Amino acid sequence: MDKLFDFELMGRLLALPYVQAALVAAAILGLLAGVLGPLIVSRNMAFAVHGTSELSFTGGAAALLLGINVGHGALAGAVVAALVLGLLSRRSSDHDSVIGAVLSFGLGVGVLLLWFYPGRANSKFGLLVGQIVGVDFASIALLSACGIGVMVVLLVIYRPLLFSSVDPDVAKARGVPVGGLSVVFAVLVGVATALGVQTVGALLVLALMITPAAAAARVTASPLRATVLAVVFAEASALGGFILSLAPGAPVSAFVTGISFFIYLVCWTISRLRGRSARGAAVVAVPVPAQ
Amino acid sequence: MEQHVPAISLRDATLGYGDRILWSGLNLDVEPGEFVAVLGPNGSGKTSLLRVLLGLRPLSSGTARIAGEPPGRGNRRIGYVPQQRAIDAPIRGRDLVGLGLDGHRWGTGVSRIRQRRQRVDQAIAEVGAEAFAKAPVSLLSGGEQQRLRVAQALVSDPDVLLCDEPLLSLDLANQQVVSALIDKRRRTADTAVLFVTHEINPVLPLVDRILYLVDGRFRIGRPDEVMTSETLSELYRTKIDVVRVRGQIHVVGAQSGLCEDQTHHLHEEPA
């Protein structure tokens, strides 16, 4: 426990180039997760993100076995998974069962692929819970490129995407290509998820993609404010979790999920307190017109 | 002399799915400022007519024009008011209205932000929704949500308003508020209104003409022409009694075909 607050050790570690590279990676991931999160929450896609992240593990495992870059494999796996999930489950009623079916099969394949791999157990475990300190500069370049790509696409499609996320029927009536946008969004989520798998691992990607946005949605209904808050929360979790994990050398994911869940609890408490005082004010009388 | 252009024009229009014909030989002109109600039992193709006009599905044959153009996706001169549905996504009323203005546009829209705010404020004021426009939509009553829906449809200043059961699941007071808002719009701005409903009474005083669809047959005319025992018996091909009680119209004898006061079935339709 003493190690947790060993600021001298923390400072020395922060000066190391590979630690700084990891910080940059965490910052890019936090930004992406914060920007995509509110849309994921609006579209009820938390389980799809979970499925995508697990299947990026399968892609990573395949890459490991084939001897290519694990990051590229995870990216490919996540994008393929996101596309499959996006195309197979247009109807929201069977959304969850489709994800469940695809997810379990994909994970099974991933486990089999890891079993084939003759290397060290460490690198296998890293795919599941994250190994941000292993991020090299090539990965940073890939991360930045993907991050910029996702942000640019998002800027262009943001309004139609928001429209089709919160109000699909009217969006369709207004000529928004709702189906096409859900496929594009699935790919964006796939890319961001794959990046998340590198840092916090496949199992804990939800901590950055979902929890900050869900927390923000508790305290504001404005899409702009929710996005800003989600970015702040995601950055606090990603960067804070990473820095705190340095001195004790503990797993990053434990700290990232801990911080993001703490933020969620605070926001949940705020919304409960507010709900109690504002319920009376939210009810507005409807005037009855003269007959 | 400038040629007269109806807001909606259907010529010999036919719509069917596979072998099944919903309606055929439909000729209908809706004039600017006219309020036309579309009535009929389930599956008679009321909503499908709206989908044709919105450019979401093609006619099987015949032609359609709306706001001076053939139906196409995203015609900016059409406003659309849907039926009330629960919105659980975290969003405020004014955001929903704003999406009606520019939700279809690509890019960031930062350059237009001031003009956007003005128009959204104005649309919210027109439906008297200022008091709750900043609250999360999920906390609003059905009536409040539908007022915002009208604002969302009007914010783009449409020439034609297509309404799909907008009064469904509202109480009487809110039905009157929402239909009065729609009526005000067509009177002040000459906007044509095509209003799909299964319940004529809330809008009866506002309606200029009725399009009544039953099993591929239809009748178009003033309410006092269409809502008669004779006409409806002919349409339903069974004995129908139209009873007028205190200014309201009740249709008796078409239990299987008519769905007055039955609201649950609409939620079974795919979204």
Q: Could you say which of B89, B143, B144 has the minimum Cβ distance to residue A166? A: B89
Instruction: Give the list of residues 6+ apart from residue B237 with CB closer than 8 angstroms, or none.
Output: B215
- A105-126 per-position pLDDT tens digit: 998 998 898 888 877 655 555 6
**Cβ distance of B92 and A166 shorter than 8 Å:** no
Q: How many CB atoms lie within 10 A of CB B263?
A: 14
DSSP B232-255: HHHHHTS--EEEEETTEEEEES-T
Count of CB contacts below 8 A, A vs B?
117
Query: Which two tokens mark A201?
Result: 């691992």
Q: How far apart are CA B212 and CA B223, in angstroms?
A: 10
Q: How far apart are CA A84 and CA A158, in angstroms?
A: 22
Q: Could you say which of B102, B108, B136 has the minimum Cβ distance to residue A221? A: B136
Instruction: Give the list of residues 6+ apart from residue B189 with CB closer than 8 angstroms, or none.
Output: B157
pLDDT of residue B253: 78
| pLDDT reading at A61 higher than 70 | yes
Torsions phi, psi for B164 (to 5 deg): -110, 95
Give the minimum alpha-carbon distance from B221 to chain A in angstroms, rounded to a whole number: 26
Task: Spell out the long-range contacts of A17-21 with Cβ–Cβ below 8 A and sequence spacing 24 or more.
Answer: A18/A133, A18/A135, A18/A136, A19/A133, A19/A246, A21/A135, A21/A136, A21/A137, A21/A140
**Cβ distance of A41 and B102 shorter than 8 Å:** no
Interval A217-230 mean pLDDT: 95
Mean pLDDT of chain B: 88
Assess contact for B270 and A168: CB atoms under 8 A: no
Is the pTM higher than 0.95? The answer reads no
Interval A221-235 mean pLDDT: 96
How large is the ipTM?
Answer: 0.88
Residues of A in contact with B80 (CB under 8 A): 170, 173-174
Give the minimum alpha-carbon distance from B181 to chain A in angstroms, rounded to a whole number: 11
Q: How far apart are CA B208 and CA B256, in angstroms?
A: 27
Mean pLDDT of chain A: 83
Q: Percentage of chain A with pLDDT > 90?
A: 36
**Cβ distance of A174 and B104 shorter than 8 Å:** yes
Closest residue in B to A275 (Cα) is B139
- A154-181 per-position pLDDT tens digit: 999 999 999 999 999 999 999 999 989 9
pLDDT of residue B109: 80
Q: Could you say which of B109, B143, B173 has the minimum Cβ distance to residue A159? A: B109
